[in-house]
Every structure is written in structure tokens, then in C-alpha cells.
Amino acid sequence: MNRLKIGVIGLGRLGRIHTTNLVQHVPEAEVKILADPRVEETEEWGRNLGDFEIVADWHIPLKDPEIDAVVIASPTTLHGEMLKEAVKAGKHVFMEKPLAHDLETAKELFETLSNVSVKIQIAFNRRFDHNFRKIKSFIDSGKLGEVHLIRTTSRDPHLPDIEFVKKSGGIFFDFMIHEFDTARFLTGSEVVEVYAGGSVLLDPRIGEAGDFDTAYAMLKMENGAICVIDVSRKAVYGYDQRVEVFGSKGSARAENDRETNVIMSTEEAVCTDKPLYYFPQRYMKSFANEIEAFVESVLEEKPVSVGVEAGYRSILIARAADVSARENRPVRIAELL
């Protein structure tokens, strides 16, 4: 196999990002089919990017014998069905997080798809980000010693559409799930206990939908490390993405990426650029890195770095966080197994 022929299912924001990266940054891949019910809108968008076959039915790329792999970037509620059908069709799969919209489905997918012959990669792009990878290298090299404490902050620059909130599965499943995977990634350990909570401080409609717009979680890891997470649906100054790891030999901290790192100091103030506005700007390179790694795994027959287990474990932690917030108590992961 010289080039991987790919079909993309779901051409929303992330589907378009993955398609663009495949076309512009991964010469070993060829995007053949785009599947999305909004055919005219997809045709207009893709016109200047490539010569694609554009279809409404997501089953079509799965039936095409020329397609080696699919990218699934559909709404979360469709992930489980599409993943099972893609595997049944013998296609390798790169799928957006989360693995599923509920724990039961995620567990079923983990149990049935962990040892299939095709590659399945879950898109936790922060594992491929330059800042997170640098800190991970310090941990793995022993420079920080034994990891004692991790602190992560994630805050969006603006509120999501309320219809998205209603379908998202909640702030722990759709938003904080990145932090849950980051905790496992950085510590190399599993979460054993979760204590979480949340408030509705930004938009009462989010509370009416049964969700929070501001939340926290404290994770106790199997190796004894502690992870403290805070998230918000709105930071007026931009996309706030920070992480700190404190260990027995020192600490490492990643601040926000900015347009420049220039700091101007005057009598009136010390000023710098705001954080990059949102995830398409902040994490664009990581999106390219992760899809490139997937193509490489398939072509070189190597294991994927983020598989179905990582997807399942993050859902498991999210469920524990949701139960904790609703019942105002610590939740042991063992309760949910």
C-alpha cells in the first residue's frame, strides 16, 4: 500500500480540519470521498481543496473497496454505530473524541473492538501538541522525578450554541474529557477516584439543559499523583490552555501560546498579546500531527498511540465526574466497572 485512500464522514468544523490537513500535510494519504448530509454546503467548501466524491450517505465510503480508512467526525451520538460499521467493513478508523456518548456504549466498544485487525485511533490531539509533548518528555526522562501534582486549565473564548450543549453529553463528557486523557497521558497511571463539581454562572439555559458552564475535578491516580482540573465555557480574553506538572525533582509549566512572545513594559503597564483565540489556532499543528501519525501507523503497520482503551477510560472518568457532581461525593472508578 503506497498511499492510504481515505473517506471522511462528517464535514463539520473538525471534519474540515482533518480533511485539510490530509490534503495539505500528509502526502501519503489521498482523500477520495466526503460524506455529509449537507452535500451542497460541502461541495462549496471543498471546491478549492480537491476533487472529491461528495455524498450524503455515510455508508458509501464503507462500501467502497478502494477506501482503506475513514475519518469519523460526526456528532457524538453516531460514533458507536459508525465505528462498528467501519470495522465490520474492514476499514481503518480515525475517530474524533469522545468514543461514545455514554459509558455503556463505550464499554461495549472497548470490549468488542480492542483486538480487531484494523487500526482504530481516537483523536486526543493534545497528546500531539508541542507543549504537552515537551512536558511529557521531561517526565519520561526523569528530570521532574516522581510526579506528585498536575494542574490543568481549559477555558473556551465564547459560549457554545445552546443546541450543541443539549446534544454534547455534558461538560465532563465533551469538554473536560481532554483533561482526563491528559492526566492519564502525563502520569502514565490510571484514575482511581474522582471528586468533581460545577456551577451555572454564564448562561441559565445551560443549567436548564442539565449541564454546567464552569466546573472542576480532582483526580487521584493509581500511582498516588493528584490532578486538579478547572474548566470554563467562556474566558473573555481568549482560549486559555495551561498545564503544570510538579514532581519530586522540580516542576514544568506550559503557558498559553500567543501570536508573539513580546512583552512591552512601560510606566503604565506590562503588556503582552492575548492567548490565541480558539482551538483551530492553538492546536492546528497538533491536529496535523495526530492524523499524520494515524496514516503512518496504518502504512507501516505500527500500533496507534491512542486507541480504543484510551477512549473508554476517558469516558469512564467522565461518568465518575458527572456522578460526583450530581451526588456531591467522591466516586471510585471501581464503582462503575
Collapsed DSSP state (helix, strand, coil) of residue 204: helix
Give the whole-angstrom CA distance, residue 259 versus residue 238: 12
**pLDDT (tens digit, 9 = 90+) per residue, 117-174?**
999 999 999 999 999 999 999 999 999 999 999 999 999 999 999 998 998 889 999 8
CA dihedral 199, 131, 74, 288 (to 10 degrees): 160
Q: What share of the chain is helix, strand, coil (3-state, %, to 5)?
A: 40, 25, 35
Q: How large is the greatest C-alpha to C-alpha distance in the chain, in angstroms?
A: 68
**pLDDT (tens digit, 9 = 90+) per residue, 49-98?**
999 999 999 999 999 999 999 999 999 889 999 999 999 999 999 999 99
Residue the block writes with cell 474548566:
231
CA dihedral 232, 235, 240, 243 (to 10 degrees): -40
Q: Which of 303, 326, 314 is nearest to 107 (CA)?
A: 314
Residues 11-29, mean pLDDT to the nearest whole number = 96
pTM, two decimal places? 0.93
Position 167 scores a pLDDT of 84
In the predicted model, is pLDDT for residue 329 greater than 70? yes
The residue type found at 267 is E
Cell (9 digits) for 122: 481516537
Give the whole-angstrom CA distance, residue 55 versus residue 60: 8
Residues 22-44, mean pLDDT to the nearest whole number = 97
- The model's confidence at residue 44, banded by pLDDT at 50, 70 and 90, is very high
**pLDDT (tens digit, 9 = 90+) per residue, 229-282?**
999 999 999 999 999 999 999 999 999 999 998 999 999 999 999 999 999 899
CA distances from 272 to 93, 256, 281 (A): 41, 11, 18
Residues 304-326, mean pLDDT to the nearest whole number = 97
Collapsed DSSP state (helix, strand, coil) of residue 60: helix
Count the residues in the chain: 337
Position 2 scores a pLDDT of 78
- Integer distance in angstroms from the first to the last C-alpha of the chain? 40
Mean of pLDDT over the chain: 96
